[in-house]
Amino acid sequence: MGRGICACLTREGADVVVSDLDLERAGETAAAAEQAGRSGLAVQGDVTSEDDCGAVVRQALAAFGQVDIVVNNAGHFGSKLSAPFTTLTGEDWDENYEVNVKGPFFMCKAVADHMMERRSGKIVNISSISAKRDPVFLPAYAAAKNALLNLTRVVAKDLGPYNVNVNAVLPGLVWTPFWERLAPMLAAQDPDNPREPRAVFDEIAGSAVLGRPQTPEDVGNLVAFLASEEARNITGQAIHVDGGIAMG
């Protein structure tokens, strides 16, 4: 999803700094930005580390002189399904909170002074329809992604007087490595109805109002809009890109 977001931002003229635990994959996305005619910088970083988040911002400033847009896209649901919720461990809960809430907090904190000083900036947090659909098999993930919506509103209020917009995007069903891990787990929950993981995904995506899954670029197009001047009066909002599935 991050690569699709970067593609849409570079299309609109952005240079990108790509931070990931996996430096090789970050480098592939940065290279794609350069192939599109923009500059790309790959940085290894762990969003659960406040020091790493600060280092990412410092490296971005050293390379480009300013940071106009921050997209908090890292996401984590854990290593197992957790239904009922009593099967959750404290470690499961902490892992979800660390990546999905504390990570965006650290990144927002790291860039806040710079954006406040410039009186300009756009922050987009990537939440999830799980924040609204309350999937019983991912309670910690759903709770964390809902907490991210609250954090979005709080940061929007804090930074609004400095002309910084802060919004959240709630993607729907996007076939990514996240779903490549999740779909087999869901398939295993129904052994009497054997299906390939992609078939499980397509069945869920097909239940949306529009009857189809979303793409990384669908999410990226909204991020690019929220990062644009056309969205200068939109802040503190949570916007779905989900084919209408959250209405179900």
CA angle (84 as vertex; 81, 86 as ends), nearest 5:
100
> Among candidates 232, 226, 115, which has minimal Cα distance to 170?
226
Picking from 163, 129, 172, the residue whose alpha carbon sits closest to that of residue 235 is: 163
The backbone torsions φ and ψ at residue 121, rounded to the nearest 5 degrees and listed phi first, read 160, 155
Cα–Cα distance between 128 and 43 in angstroms, integer? 25
CB 166 within 8 A of CB 70: no
Angle among Cα 225, 228, 230 to the nearest 5 degrees reads: 85
Cα 144 to the center of its chain, rounded Å = 12
Measure the CA–CA gap between 211 and 95, rounded to whole angstroms: 33
The rounded distance, in Å, linking the Cα atoms of 152 and 127 is 10
- Residues with a known catalytic role: 141
Torsional sign, CA 185, 48, 70, 160? positive
The CA R_g of the chain, rounded to the nearest whole Å, is: 18
Question: How far apart are the C-alpha atoms of 66 and 79, rounded to whole Å?
Answer: 37
Work out the widest C-alpha separation in the chain, in whole angstroms: 60
